A and B are shown apart, each in its own frame.
Chain A
């Protein structure tokens, strides 16, 4: 099993550009999550999904969109990139919600200049 994979590993965007961060898991997990981690901070939840076709906002959703058309994939879309979106983005998945451990991908380091 590859677990949770994310692409790209690194990306530099200009202000106003858009991009999609890809996330795929092969563990047949129902739950998937997107986090961002800023320097010296913990992980903040952006969006999450409880299954294909169902998504919901987390703590910091502004400036982002998600979709979940399959169990495996949970892409994160940035429209009109802003310097405040410079961060490391982690995708995670879990078999169940809440008390169960989440499995994380390796992260995407995004810089917006």
Chain B
């Protein structure tokens, strides 16, 4: 039973536009969420996180939004750049990280 779901396996966005990646979770007790980015043949790297006491966290072009009532978080990338093309994983933190299945983002010129 998947506790963290990324229902879109892939997303294609034009350079300069907004990319929105979505993630749903099942347990309302989860209180810390992270996004990781993964390039081919590399390990995941931490991108941005958010605590449940906030509903938004911003870092440059990346913003994560948390909707606790819907048990939903999203990652916005504005403006999208070709170098953002990668697989993005959301994860929830308990005593361990529980990862979603990932969304492959392709940013085309």
Interface on A for B, CB 8 Å cutoff?
A: 4, 33, 40-45, 48, 58, 90, 92, 97-99, 101-107
Using a Cβ–Cβ cut-off of 8 Å, how many residues does chain B contribute to the interface with A?
A: 22
A41 to chain B, nearest CB (A): 6
A44 to B99, CA, bound (A): 8
A43 to chain B, nearest CB (A): 5
Q: Is the CB of B101 within 8 A of A90?
A: no
- Number of A-B contacts defined by CB within 8 Å: 50
Q: Is the CB of B43 within 8 A of A107?
A: yes
Find B43's partner among A4, A45, A97 (CB 8 Å cutoff): A4
Q: Is the CB of B89 within 8 A of A43?
A: yes
Q: Is the CB of B45 within 8 A of A48?
A: no
Q: Are A42 and B100 also in contact (CB < 8 A) when A99-B32, A101-B34, A107-B41 are?
A: yes
Find A90's partner among B44, B95, B96, B100 (CB 8 Å cutoff): B44
3 nearest A-B residue pairs (beta carbon): A104-B43, A42-B99, A101-B46
B30 to chain A, nearest CB (A): 11
Contact with A along B1-24 (1 / 0, CB 8 A): 000100001000000000000000
**Interface check B49, CB cutoff 8 A:** yes
B38 to chain A, nearest CB (A): 8
Q: Is the CB of A102 within 8 A of B46?
A: yes
A108 to B109, CA, bound (A): 32
B47: nearest residue on chain A (CB-CB)? A101
